[in-house]
Amino acid sequence: MAASRTPTLVLVPEWGTGHLMSMLESCKRILLCGGRAFSITLLVMRPPTAQATSEVEAHVRREAASGLDIRFHRLPAVQPPADAAGVEEFIARYIQLHAPHVRDAVAGMPCPVAALVLDLFAAPMVDVARDLGVPSYVFMSSTGAMLALMLHLPVLHQVVTVEFSQVDGESLWHGLPMAPWPLYAEQHLNAFELVADMGVAVPLKVDRKRDNLVEAADLERAVKCLMGEEGRKARERAAEMRDVCRNAVSKGGSSDAALQRLSEALHHGAVLPPTM
């Protein structure tokens, strides 16, 4: 394969839609920001279930047809761990089993590598990047509050440079208040942040002992609250946040400026990995 001088961002996402697509969409912003030229190389792991595999392949087909410079490299299959203590440990260990294949894929890149962008579950692969002399970044698909919490957990021993962050702001982009219904992982913290910190949502009573069940009456109460006088402050605050979001990503806004700085840093840090 002929070498290209256009640096590539090598992505190592967890296969879940909330992880894979959040990382991909964030990195596509770098391609489209109008700064330096980049391509994206997505390292595709085979998920441990047939349903997840089907979802990932659907994403790959859609992005392959987008016309953007996105390449897909399918990693060899690995045997899932059989003795994991829980879902989080299973995912982390399953991803880590791909480390040798990630190393081989990055070492075989025919173009400079701007960065190895790692899912939080793949954070230990910073050692792979270090061995290859490639810059690495850890992508956090949740909120800043969750990131602050995770950086203080004793399980994170490595020093990680965090440049990417992603918040599900679709509702706020349109100025819509919310009644957040947390289902798993860090979503309970996210819901608390939306209600207590940002003031753009009203609380929804969730029974965590019954698999995060919400009674119909509680859902009705929350919706009426959003629409009535009690939810007026949340509606006003959401409208304010709509303007904040749009100003941040507009030309010269804080998010746009940060993206331009990141683009420059990635361009200047791009290296051609040594052949293994």
What CATH number did the domain enclosing 205 receive? 3.40.50.2000
Q: Are residues 86 and 178 in the same domain?
A: no
Q: Are residues 179 and 145 in the same domain?
A: no
The last residue of one of the domains, among 108, 135, 167, is: 167
Structural domain of 141 = 8-167
d(C-alpha 136, C-alpha 126), whole Å: 6
Residue 260 lies in a domain: no
Q: Are residues 139 and 238 in the same domain?
A: no
Residue 1 lies in a domain: no
Rounded to 5°, the CA angle 77-104-159 comes to 100
Task: Encode the chain (276 residues) as per-residue pLDDT tens digits.
Answer: 445 688 999 999 999 988 999 899 988 988 887 677 899 999 999 999 999 999 999 999 999 998 889 999 999 999 999 998 888 899 999 999 999 999 999 999 989 999 999 998 999 999 999 999 999 999 887 776 667 666 666 564 464 333 333 344 678 888 989 998 988 777 888 888 889 989 999 999 999 999 899 999 999 999 999 999 989 999 999 999 999 989 988 888 888 888 888 888 888 888 888 765
Single pTM value for the model: 0.78
Q: Are residues 183 and 54 in the same domain?
A: no
Q: Are residues 203 and 184 in the same domain?
A: yes
Residue 262 lies in a domain: no
pLDDT at 3: 57
Residue 192 lies in a domain: yes
Q: Is 201 helix (H, G, I), strand (E, B) or coil?
A: strand
d(C-alpha 249, C-alpha 88), whole Å: 33
Q: Which residues contact 33 (CB under 8 A, 6 or more apart)?
A: 256, 259, 260, 263
Q: Are residues 109 and 212 in the same domain?
A: no
Q: Are residues 145 and 233 in the same domain?
A: no
Q: Are residues 71 and 112 in the same domain?
A: yes
Query: b or e along 74-105 (b: 16 or more beta carbons within 10 Å of the residue's beta carbon)?
Result: ebeebeebeeeeeeeebbbebbbebbebbbeb
Q: Are residues 133 and 239 in the same domain?
A: no
The last residue of one of the domains, among 122, 145, 167, is: 167
pLDDT at 240: 94
